[in-house]
Amino acid sequence: MNSKVAPPGLTNITTMMCGSCSNENAFKSIFFWYAEKKRQGAPFTKEEMESCMINQAPGAPQYSIMSFKGAFHGRTMGVLSTTHSKYIHKIDVPAFDWPIASFPKYKYPLEENVRENKQEDEKCLAEVEDLIVQYEKKNIPVAGIIIEPIQAEGGDNHASPAFFQKLQAISKKHGAALLIDEVQTGGGPTGKMWCHEHFELESPPEVVTFSKKMQIGGFYHNPDFRPKQAYRVFNTWMGDPSKLILLEAIVDVIFKDNLLARAARVGNYMLKQLTTLQNEHPHLINSARGRGTFIAFDCATPELRDATVKKLLVKGIQSGGCGEKAIRLRPALTFTEHHADIFLDNLRSVLTK
């Protein structure tokens, strides 16, 4: 494992094929870890081995994973219970009774709304803790909490480093694992290899999932999350080893060409220019936000957002819609100020017309 790539403090990795199965098997590893703590090293009982075969407790316990409104963690059965971005992903599919907390909704610009946004953090964190207590009383204890460092499909929603620091403290207080889903944010677009590095957490999260820019899926985890028995986390390919050859070449270029610093620099440039642009057209766009080149802004209405995306596409620029009315930008790590200017000139042209 390349120590330049691994999230600081995490020493184990399990490879998978895609983001959904990375989160899915990370959930399983969290449940194994949680059950092992309760079992205190005792072997599986006959009752556990028999009851799990018919989906009954104690072998199939009622544990839960907390997630957040607006989240997207995948489309397979388990993770779909933690995905809350669009109804079309979920409709007609049975789901678990797992807690869903509110993700902070900030007012922009951040520097003008410090008090309100801090209150929003506190309100959402109080809800997290309240839900953990509620689900403990329902005998569906929270074994883990899954969260994106930036909610991508849900609208490029950000939360502060202080929010993530306090969320980690709550998870530790209640004996739950913190799983940070970096499927979208991992691999450098935020100006660091892993977005959660921006948050200055007191200790590493227990689990970090990845895919997309990393060419291969999987999750980093601390040693306690490695199952003690073989075949508990297993599938046909366990990831695609050939993709590691591609990833190795990509990582070499990232560090040789200092692309993380470039993403940070160009992202700052883009945000500054977007702020100017939204000040020119405050009735059309607002709330420019981002880390590195992982950037988004809101349009005044969902209809304006959809029209803007289409007009940009006619000009040869592919952007994307997310959330209710956001446009998100996902350029390659090789994106420069020159490319940013091309985008900004075309966006200004679309907004002016």
Is 181 an active-site residue? Answer: yes
Contact 117, 169 (CB under 8 A): no
Is 44 an active-site residue? Answer: no
Residue with tokens 């992202």: 267
Contact 170, 125 (CB under 8 A): yes
Angle at 227 between CA 222 and CA 233, to 5 degrees: 105
Contact 281, 261 (CB under 8 A): no
Which residue among the candidates 105, 212, 243, 311 is catalytic per the annotation? 212
Tell which phi-psi region holds residue 218, choosing left (phi > 0), alpha (psi between -120 and 50) or beta. left
Which residue among the candidates 181, 185, 225, 293 is catalytic per the annotation? 181
Which residue among the candidates 137, 228, 236, 256 is catalytic per the annotation? 236
Which residue among the candidates 72, 164, 294, 297 is catalytic per the annotation? 72
Is 72 an active-site residue? Answer: yes
Q: In angstroms, how far is CA 61 from the centroid of its own chain?
A: 26
User: Which residues are known catalytic residues?
Assistant: 72, 181, 212, 236
